[in-house]
Copies of this chain bind each other. A is one copy, B any other.
Amino acid sequence: MTNPKAAMLVIGDEILSGRTRDSNMHYLAKELTRAGIDLAEARVVSDDEQAIIDAVRALSATYEHVFTSGGIGPTHDDITAECVAAAFDMPIGIRDDARALLEAHYARTGAELNEARLRMARIPDGAALIDNPVSIAPGFTIENVHVMAGVPAVFEAMVASVLPSLSGGDPLLSQSMRIERGEGEIAGPLSDLAKAFPDLSIGSYPFVSNGIYGANIVIRGHDGAQVDAAMTRLSELFG
């Protein structure tokens, strides 16, 4: 069986300027791997309307699921919700269900639900809300696109809300072995191993550490017995 393929779209000038180091991509990658969904591509675009619309359309048409991160807060530079709505030619406005969540939240905390905060209730028509247990303002799913916040704590909570409802395939199993020899020495036998196990992905990830050249060899696949067999062979070669 083939796993569903997904893409991620990170939205935000702060990542591309180097001000902030994104952590959501790494988090989502690990969670999707565990859920049996293959993250096949990720993109980072700036807070630019056309760039966001184009990326949402391209990724949504290519992959089964698209996960976005960033740009759904109350400030003027938060334009993701409008852009996703525009990508699907759907109307967007303050929606009663989202407004009710915010009203209840701000009534509890005593803060004012002002015009800016109310922006967080802008949800495209027909979208399903994504629960945000951390700071209440919801994300949303429209078609195959899951729109989530950029703040890592909120993003991670929203991923936990969304993932159980998506049907993944078999989890991807992996085993790895650290080899303290230059890649150039192990590349030949490794290539033969990859040919002997065409259903597995065999990756070589080189490192230089304290002057030692080495590589972590990672064997991935959906069939545990095959992964075991390939690891045994790898140990015989380089163990």
Is A182 engaged at the interface, CB distance under 8 Å to the other chain?
A: yes
Chain B: CB-nearest residue to A23: B21
**Contact indicator A114/B204 (Cβ below 8 Å):** no
Is A14 engaged at the interface, CB distance under 8 Å to the other chain?
A: yes
Is A236 engaged at the interface, CB distance under 8 Å to the other chain?
A: no
Main SS class of interface, A = mixed
Copies per assembly: 2
**Contact indicator A41/B40 (Cβ below 8 Å):** no
Stretch at the interface among A88-96, A122-130, A160-168, A205-213: A205-213
Choose among B16, B134, B220 the residue that contacts A40 (Cβ–Cβ < 8 A). B16
Interfacial residues of chain A within 20-51, with CB under 8 A of chain B in the complex? 20-23, 25-33, 38-47, 51
Choose among B15, B77, B116, B220 the residue that contacts A17 (Cβ–Cβ < 8 A). B220
Query: Nearest Cβ distance between residue A234 and chain B, in whole angstroms?
Result: 13
**Contact indicator A151/B17 (Cβ below 8 Å):** no
Number of A interface residues in the complex (CB < 8 A): 76
Among A15, A76, A174, A194, the one with the most B-chain Cβ atoms within 10 Å of its Cβ is A76
Is A190 engaged at the interface, CB distance under 8 Å to the other chain?
A: yes
**Contact indicator B17/A33 (Cβ below 8 Å):** yes
Binding site for B on A (CB under 8 A): 12-23, 25-33, 38-47, 51, 73-78, 111, 114-117, 119-120, 134-135, 150-151, 153-154, 172, 174, 176, 182-188, 190-191, 194, 201-208, 213, 215, 218, 220
